[in-house]
Copies of this chain bind each other. A is one copy, B any other.
């Protein structure tokens, strides 16, 4: 027999990721879980905390898988390829987002919903649970691309995470009326890996990079890089 807390957590994950946060009432959750309404407040404090805890376990599992893959990549060869590292970052996430059996795809949509809330609590929450993972990836990549300033690397990692989040949440179809033929997770991940790797490798110290742009009469092209 599951504890009241567990019953709430499992029911909440299913309902929240299926219907969204705002559209799922605590009463609906407790009714399906066959527990009392007040039990939510007793065990989790309020609705937001419940939502956080719902995906915390999933988030930890995802990041652990990423780190394990990264360890394998580092351990298996002394010359690490950039693609392999990016793969360790991207694959687990995209596989999870395409896994309908264990509810992974629903969970991913829940993450996307949470993203948009964009509040302070979520900020610190993500910093605590994602921060060390991103840092490890950044450090590893820096051994592969030693000429890239660490700040530049962080921006580029943001680009990659942004693109990943976007395709994970399946926003992709939004811009075409017809929709788009689905690709399997592997192919889609491979494409993103190749795209990201090329983008990262393209970096070269400022100067030769801006010639190609067509000039607009905006502010002058001041580009100060404060770091080596």
Residues of A bordering B, CB below 8 Å? 20-22, 69, 72-73, 76-77, 81, 83-84, 87, 91, 95, 109, 112-119, 122-124, 126-128, 130-131, 134-135, 151-152, 154-156, 158-167, 169, 171-177, 180-181, 183-184, 186-188, 190-203, 209-210, 212-214, 216, 218-219, 221-224, 226
Chain A: interface secondary structure?
helix
List, sorted by A's number, 20 A–B pairs whose CB atoms are closer than 8 Å: A87-B213, A91-B216, A91-B218, A112-B115, A113-B116, A113-B118, A115-B171, A124-B177, A130-B174, A131-B176, A158-B167, A158-B172, A159-B192, A161-B166, A162-B163, A162-B167, A186-B219, A186-B222, A190-B210, A193-B213
CB distance from A131 to the nearest CB of B (A): 6
Which B-chain residue is minimally distant from A193 (CB atoms)?
A: B213
